[in-house]
Structures are given as C-alpha cells and as structure tokens.
Amino acid sequence: MGIIRKIRRGNFAKVVASLHPGCHQVPSKTALNRYPEIFAAAAAAAPYARRILSFGCSTGEECVTLADYFPAAQIVGADINPVNLLTAMRRGGDRIRYVYASDRLLNRFGGFDAVFCMAVLRTPKQDHIAEHYPFERFAERAHYLESLVRPGGLLVIHNATYRFSDAAPSFAYEAIPVAANHNNVYLPDGMTEAKPESCIFRKRLAAAGVGFVREQAILQEWEKIKIRKKHCPTKHPQQTAGELTSREYQRDS
Ligand SMILES: C[S@@+](CC[C@H](N)C(=O)[O-])C[C@H]1O[C@@H](n2cnc3c(N)ncnc32)[C@H](O)[C@@H]1O
C-alpha cells in the first residue's frame, strides 16, 4: 500500500514503519496469547527466567502475555515504531517496560534469559523474496538478538522468512522441539522452501568455548597472536588456542 493511501486511511503506525529504514515486518498485527504452544514450551524450558525481551512487541499484547507465562520475570518490550510503543505504554503492567528498539539501548539491558522475536524478521511478499528481504538482513538481526541472550538462555524466533539454523552454526544452539504450526520458511536463496526444525533455541553454555558471534573475534585475535609469535617466538611460548578461548570466555562471561 502506498504511503498516501496509508495516510488517507489514517494508518499512522504503518506510515511511520514504512518510512523507517530499519523496519523489517511493517504491519503491527498482534494479539494476546497469539502463540500459546510456543509460549508454554518456552516457559517450560526456562521456568526461572527473570529477564525477557519481546523484540518487535508492537502494541504490547505479547508483553502482557509473557508476563502471565513468566510470573517472576521483568519484561522489556522493544519496537522500532513509536506509534505502537505509545499504544503499548497505555497498557501498563508492573513488570513491563517499553523501550524504543535501538541497539545502543538494548545493549545496556543485555543478558536476557529469553528473547522473543515473533513475526518481525519477515516479509509478507510471496515472490522475489530475496529482493524484498535478503537473507543477510534477517541474519544480521538474528545474530544481534543472539548476542542479547545469556548462555543457557532462549532465543525464540517464529514466523520469520528464513531459518535461524541457517544463520547460526549448530554447535552454538540446541533446538527445543515445539508442537506448534511453523510457517513455511526459505533457504538463504529466498526461493527454496524449507521447514524450520523449531523456533526455540537454547544458547549453549560456553562449553564449546564461545558463542558464534564472538568466535570470529577470537579467531582474529588468535591470528594476531600467531603473527606476534612468528616475529617474537619466545614471548608467549605456552599459549595455545584452547587457553586463548578460555581466557576470552572468562573475559566475556
Ligand atoms: C506483526 S508485528 C508482531 C507483533 C508481535 N511480536 C506478535 O507476533 O504478535 C511486527 C512488529 O515488529 C516491529 N518491527 C519491525 N522491524 C523492527 C525492528 N527492526 N526492530 C524492532 N521492531 C521492529 C514492527 O514495528 C511491528 O510492531
């Protein structure tokens, strides 16, 4: 729908969203308890969750629902659309806080026990999907949201155009089975249809060393050390890749 038509129809939330370059899914459709099987499975997998993020919370119904499923948790609802946030804020709730979805702000909250991203990282288009919504756009946000989950916490990505498992190496996450209807998703080419294996992923405790986002930084660091060693072989004679990983892990965890 064109911007002028949206203005004529008084759909200001859609107008604001369409003008925002960082907006993924433009429509704000939401409902209370919209995904009961998924919320129940997540609550069973993380019964002691204390800090939860609803990324793309729209007008707040998802946050209200999460507060019911996680009675001990503080909920942060984040959305890129200020019109939706204003509606959400009117809804209130002792344990719910609404914020604008800027990375800088969300980084400060970080270390969530569960991050929900439902019906946000997607395009409603049915064809030329990769042109409208390239996999890289999805993967960038998925990686970012992953970085906000504490080790052992959950990332719940549902109703997305692509699969989280195609953006993340399998060692970094355990997929938790959910008896829910999964929408069809696409492989990174945006053409081949696929089935997601789940929508709930538990970030593995850093047993394998590090999360996949940090892995790249550590490999780069390791390269630098190899170069330093080459030029100054006795400076760090005892250093191994394993030691580097565990040191990095201690620093980051
Ligand atoms: C269809 S609603 C989903 C609402 C709710 N999560 C649900 O599933 O019922 C999509 C929401 O995602 C928000 N959104 C889109 N791109 C976003 C982004 N980059 N960061 C945060 N929110 C975003 C939109 O403003 C909209 O409110």
What is the tens place of the pLDDT at every residue in 106-146? Answer: 999 979 999 999 999 999 888 899 999 999 999 999 999 99
Average pLDDT over residues 179-193: 89
Tell me how far apart the alpha carbons of residues 45 and 52 are, in angstroms, rounded to a whole number.
13
Inter-helix orientation angle 82-91/12-19, to 10°: 130
Residues 10-55: tens digit of each pLDDT: 676 777 777 788 899 999 999 999 999 999 999 999 999 999 999 9
Instruction: Say which residues have a Cβ less than 8 Å from residue 61's Cβ, sequence separation at least 6.
Output: 30, 31, 32, 34, 91
pLDDT (0 to 100) of residue 251: 39
216 pLDDT above the threshold of 90: no
User: What is the pTM (predicted TM-score) of this model?
Assistant: 0.80
185 pLDDT above the threshold of 70: yes
The residue nearest atom 13 of ligand 1, judged by CA position, is: 56
More confident residue, 10 or 71: 71
What domains, with CATH codes, occur in the chain?
22-204 (3.40.50.150), 212-252 (no CATH)
212 pLDDT above the threshold of 70: no
Tell me how far apart the alpha carbons of residues 18 and 24 are, in angstroms, rounded to a whole number.
9
Cα 122 to ligand 1 centroid, rounded to whole Å: 10
- Cβ of residue 59 lying under 6 Å from some atom of ligand 1: no
- Cβ of residue 17 lying under 6 Å from some atom of ligand 1: yes
Q: End-to-end alpha-carbon separation of the chain, Å?
A: 46
Ligand 1 nearest-atom number relative to CA 84: 27
